[in-house]
Structure 1
Amino acid sequence: MNQAARRIGRTLALVLPVVLVLSGTLAVTRVPWAAPNAESQVLTASSDAASSQARARAPHEVLRDKLLTELQEKNPGVALTHLQEATNGRPSLARYCVDIARVLGQAAVAKYHSAKKAQAYSRPVCDTSYASGVSQGH
């Protein structure tokens, strides 16, 4: 009797963790990574792309890319205003403000092919970083 109980205990000790892991894994096979309404993006537990999709981009990188898109679609003034609003609303982004403003200045020169026209959109955001970017882009 004692030997049978021991065998059952060993079997449960080996099987139970596997069952728990599999049931937990199967419970999260449908996870939308892009947006709440992105039904098409589904990640399965065995996907090789899981590690690359799971890494979120840093907030300052997302902000930089968004502002560069705004600069191209609208103008640098709009992007600089939104940069100021973002850093005021989220102080943790302030340490990236100088770099983002400099990149915006360089992108403005590339868009207009003129440092003078790019400089016309200058705003007092992050000291003179936008102007520094304009001069680097020229």
Structure 2
Amino acid sequence: MNQAARRIGRTLALVLPVVLVLSGTLAVTRVPWAAPNAESQVLTASSENASTVAKARAPHEVLRDRLLGELQEKNPGVALTHLQEATNGRPSLAQHCVEIARALGQAAVKKYRSVKQAQSYARPVCDTAFAAGVVQGGH
């Protein structure tokens, strides 16, 4: 009986990692794309596309996704502050500021289910883009 248990254990030890990699469970990694302070992206691979080359996402897309996550975890005020800091620190992101702030406004309405509560977080970031997003999200 002891040998049978060892044989099963060895088989699982060899087969389980292969199954996990093919299913994508172990094929998750974080890759920093830009500056040392830049956020990381999560990439996954599956057995169908493991040999394809992953395309890097644009910095403004990474920033937008990170800020939308912050809005959900904390509040829109934190996300707007970080948006302002990001556009001040990296001027190339400024051209996307309105788009990102509008997305944050729409997400705030979805989170709070209240235009009034979402609007209470408005800041003068990217002019009135956040407020415009709140209004769009409310309709």
Scaled by the length of structure 1, the TM-score of the pair is 0.65
Match of 2:52 in 1: 49
Count of aligned pairs: 96
SS in 2 for 1:35: strand
Q: Which has the higher helix share?
A: 1
Which of the two has higher C-alpha Rg? Answer: 1
Q: 2:30 pairs with 30, 34, 41, which one?
A: 34
Please provide the CA RMSD for this pair.
2.0
Residue number in structure 2 paired with 1:109: 109
Unaligned runs of 5+ in 2: 1-28, 33-43
| CA distance in structure 2 between the partners assigned to 1:77 and 1:48 by the alignment | 41
1:86 aligns with 2:82: no
| Alignment match, 1:130 | 130
TM-score (norm 2): 0.65
| Amino-acid identity (%) | 71
Q: What 5-or-longer segments of structure 1 have no aligned partner?
A: 1-32
Hey, which bits of structure 1, 4+ residues long, moved more than 6 A?
none
Q: What SS does the corresponding residue of 1:34 show, helix, strand or coil?
A: strand
CA distance in 1: counterparts of 2:117 and 2:58, whole angstroms: 31
- What does residue 41 of structure 2 align with? none
